[in-house]
Amino acid sequence: MTFVQNRGGLAFIVMSPFFYIRFIISTKPRNQTAVSEFLLLELTEDPAGQLLLFSLFLSMYLVTVLGNLLIILAIRSDTHLHTPMYFFLSNLSFTDICMSTSTIPKMLLNIQAQSQSISYIGCLSQVFFLMVFLVLENCLLTAMAYDRYVAICHPLMYPIIMNPSFCVFLVLVSLFISGVNSLLHTLMVLQLSFCTHLEIPDFFCELSQVIKSACSDTLINNILMYFFSVILGGSALFGIIFSYSLIVCSLLRLPSSGRKYKAFSTCGSHLLVVSLFYGTAFGVYISSSVTESSRKTAVASLMYSVVPQILNPFIYSLRNEDMKMALGKIFGRISFLR
């Protein structure tokens, strides 16, 4: 990275064998209004409805945090769950907590204060962290699919391939990819100019809506957004589908139907979570393409950032006998202390 002083301000240049990006931090006043805050979409104007929504989202947030914390605590406290599958699950639960925390608390604060404003820095921070945890969850689901593939198709090599060092490496690579992707998009948003119309047609700062609110040229931003969405989302989805296609082919060769059911039952919870994650994402895309109502699109986007995170703990705890036993031990200790 190098810094260059020019007439427009201070520029820094990021160069690598794969890309060349030049960002300019302007030190001169622009014709556009200096951005201090954005206005988010109001959930409802009815005071009674606001109280109901506040209670609803507060309950959903608490259930999300407590449910995922219980999953993490159960995995940490039970040595039988110290396996690669549950290691990825604990990271997924932590990601769900962080993803919900990046949006819901600010919504609750705005409802209580009866204000829809969010500062410019706060909006960019929300964009950054929401994208970090969104891409991280996407990568973790792919890693979990690969873990199931190795466990079922190569059971004898499973302890060697999915060793602790490799599992940590997969998580760190996922975090690096999500961090670099989010940082790139956030830095590109910093280059945009915003005029007097600073309303964002969403309940939180989402990248595409922030880009639409800009009054400067957003061609590069849109190209990068769609390019990385296709590359990261498409490659992850392809990896999951490819892993499960190999799993199905391997199970079809098993002679015993009981062994088939037992082997595939370990994939049931993960398949439900994957279907929920990509199903809600596809719903947001369809909603934004079919309807012109910004409120309907915002509601679909909100469901995408809230519903999977609150349901994941229930999916893994209700469909997994090992997790049920670990949670039972935790509740047993709590009742014993009382």
| Residue 62 clears pLDDT 90, i.e. is over it | yes
Bridge partner residues of 253 (DSSP):
none
**Tens of pLDDT along 38-57?**
888 777 777 777 888 889 88
**Tens of pLDDT along 259-295?**
667 667 778 888 888 888 888 777 776 766 666 666 6
pLDDT of residue 216: 85
Contact 198, 37 (CB under 8 A): yes
**Tens of pLDDT along 306-330?**
888 888 888 887 767 778 787 777 7
pLDDT-above-70 percentage for the chain: 81
pLDDT of residue 243: 93
- Mean of pLDDT values over 207-213: 87
Sheet holding 2-6, edge to edge: 2-6, 9-15, 20-26
| Residue 29 clears pLDDT 50, i.e. is over it | no
CA distance 166 to 161: 8
> Confidence band (pLDDT; 50, 70, 90) for 8?
very low
| Residue 336 clears pLDDT 80, i.e. is over it | no
| Contacts of 274-279 spanning 24+ positions with Cβ under 8 A | 274/141, 274/145, 274/240, 276/307, 276/308, 276/311, 276/312, 276/315, 277/137, 277/138, 277/141, 277/308, 278/237
